[in-house]
Amino acid sequence: MSPILAISGLSKQFGGVTALAGVDLAIEEGEILGVVGPNGSGKTTLFNVVTGVHRPSGGSVLFRGQDITGLKPHAISRAGIGYTFQQAMAFAGLGVLENVQIAGEHVRARADSTANPWPTPQALLDFVGLSAVANEKAGVLPFGSLRLLGLALALATRPSLLLLDEPAAGLNDRETTALVGLVRQLPGHGITVCVIDHDMKLMQMLCRRLAVLDFGSKIADGPTEAVLADPKVLEVYLGGDL
């Protein structure tokens, strides 16, 4: 079976700075893949290029066998790729339920017959645990709840592939545990996941496979425990979380 996402030779330059240097990466359908690396290693740039926020300088991105390289973000979203950003985002002056309703209005037309696991915005809020604050303004939510709203907004677009950029940043232990529980359920709902985070305990709980970036290049890719024991990876993280 072909991977749901196949990245080949992906590169991105910003002026004289190389953010991505020929990255190859395949994401298999139904997995939760982790992408890790030091600050500035190219992780967020990789997500931004895949989702059309930045145009690549070279290489290709295939989603379900279709070339989506350089398409606009809205076209990539409608194709079936969801994205949550490092900074939690929502319409602060609108209610929580209203935010999810707006996200759902831009849902892509599905080419398959897969049933929507959350047929209403309220069902989606029930899933992420925000039903009790459905009528609250998004701008008054505590940070942890705002993170969950960001996840709900991404899921409202009915993605087949969900990219999570540091979803646990700023969360306490209880909130992180709850997030892990939610993300683990997503493959069972037909959603493949790729996640970036600096919390290695979180990544070990979530991911059976890790890919490691350093200075825009992939230096390791394989089973989580093997990657975390790789001498190259240990060298990159020397003095860090590992």
Q: Tell me what the mean pLDDT of segment 12-31 comes to.
A: 96
First-to-last alpha carbon distance for the chain, in angstroms, is 34
Write out pLDDT tens, residues 225-238.
999 999 999 988 75
Q: Tell me what the mean pLDDT of segment 146-168 comes to.
A: 93
- Res 188: pLDDT: 95
- Res 109: pLDDT: 46
pLDDT(93) > 90: no
- Neighbouring CB atoms inside 10 A of 226's CB total 12
- Res 88: pLDDT: 64
pLDDT(111) > 70: no
Residue 169 confidence class, pLDDT cut points 50, 70, 90: confident
Superfamily per CATH, domain 5-236: P-loop containing nucleotide triphosphate hydrolases (3.40.50.300)
Strand partners, 10: 23
- Res 238: pLDDT: 56
- Res 137: pLDDT: 92
Going from N- to C-terminal start, the domains of the chain cover: 5-236
Residue 5 confidence class, pLDDT cut points 50, 70, 90: very high
CA torsion, points 66, 72, 77, 79, in degrees to nearest 10? Answer: -20
pLDDT(114) > 70: no
pLDDT(135) > 70: yes
- Res 192: pLDDT: 97
